[in-house]
Amino acid sequence: MPNSGTRPKVVVTRKLPEPIETRMMELFDASLAECDQPMSREQLKVAVSSADVLSPTVTDKIDADIIEAAGPQLKLIANYGAGVDHIDLEAAHAKGLIVTNTPGVLTEDTADMAMALILAVVRRIGEGQRLVRAQHWEGWAPTGLMGKTVRGKRLGIVGMGRIGAALARRARAFGLSIHYHNRRRVADTIEEELEATYWESLNQMLSRMDIISVNCPRTPGTFHLLNAPRLSVMKEGAVIINTSRGDVIDESALVRGLSSGRIGGAGLDVFEHEPVVTPKLLKMENVVLTPHIASATIEARIAMGEKLIANIKAFTDHHVPPDRVLKSMF
């Protein structure tokens, strides 16, 4: 880190909300992004060769090669976002770099999006909007665009962390029955509050749910967690929602399940190869697609920035950053 009294050089890879960028300029020797496009690999290598702190986002792949290019002055990778699957934590820690993230501030907004996608898919809202916008709607009809009633359905949550629990609270208000699969069973008090049923076997839960919501983080253990064999055991006509990471689901297998009609619909805010979306998904009427916007509220993005600044400030003041990421956490 720079000597005491010298402001650290912080390279920010993407445009952030204006209040956050302004505050970073006040506190640090901040290099802000001039255009809101991901940095190239060469640009990232240049950044890590000169920065004291790198502040990337999910669109920046900070792999071992990028980390190897880092100069000796780089000590902190302060991620703008909760997920850190785009950062090679093992390589970072081997080089003595501290990694931080911005957890906790996205919970409510992401849960809102998951609930919105559930309603949109089950009630066929996307299909209805496209019909009206195309001026093909001919008026109310007794059997027009009939969806399904949400109340009374079973919701299976894959990953009962902060976001999963927040979704469960919303879903209960809509009359859904709450079920979940997790690496570890949650506390009895949480199960009682949510009236949630725990399934140790993911396959057993999948085969009985009307709706599946993916809310687990992306880790080596969750890559393609919902693969072809698991998707094949889902209840006939069930729908699947993903606001987590795209590659938790095998997207090719999902397309096959949707095409065959075995999976009744999907609501996807994330994609396995984003920003590229599997072309067949674009043509499916029973699929609602949104562009990775679960955390895209003014309040959440500013709160993320405030956590980002708090982590950098704590580190440069020789304190342990409040949101330090340990390799064992993922």
Give the number of other Cβ atoms within 10 Å of residue 18's Cβ: 10
Helix axes 162-173, 107-122, angle to 10 degrees: 50
Q: What is the DSSP string of 116-163?
A: HHHHHHHTTHHHHHHHHHTT------TTTT-----TT-EEEEE--SHH
Phi, psi (degrees; rounded to nearest 5) at 92: -65, -45
SS3 state at 15 = coil
| Active-site residue, from 181, 230, 292, 301 | 292
Q: What is the DSSP string of 49-102?
A: HH-SEEE--TTS-B-HHHHHT--TT--EEE-SSS--TTB-HHHHHHTT-EEE--
Give the number of other Cβ atoms within 10 Å of residue 121's Cβ: 25
Q: In 146-209, where do the E strands start and end? A: 154-158, 177-181, 197-198
Active-site residue flag, 200 = no
Of the candidates 173, 252, 183, 254, the one whose C-alpha atom is nearest the C-alpha of residue 212 is 254
| Active-site residue, from 21, 193, 274, 306 | 274
| Active-site residue, from 245, 251, 272, 301 | 245
The tally of CA atoms less than 13 A away on the side-chain side of residue 145 is 20
Active-site residue flag, 154 = no
CA dist 316 and 308 (Å) reads 12
Active-site residue flag, 318 = no
**Burial of residue 227, with CB atoms counted within 10 A of its CB: 0-12 exposed, 13-18 middle, 19 or more buried:** middle
**Cβ–Cβ < 8 Å for 163, 192:** no
Bridge partners, residue 266, by sequence? 240, 287
Residue type, 11: V
Looking up tokens 């089950």 gives 122
Residues carrying an active site annotation: 245, 274, 292
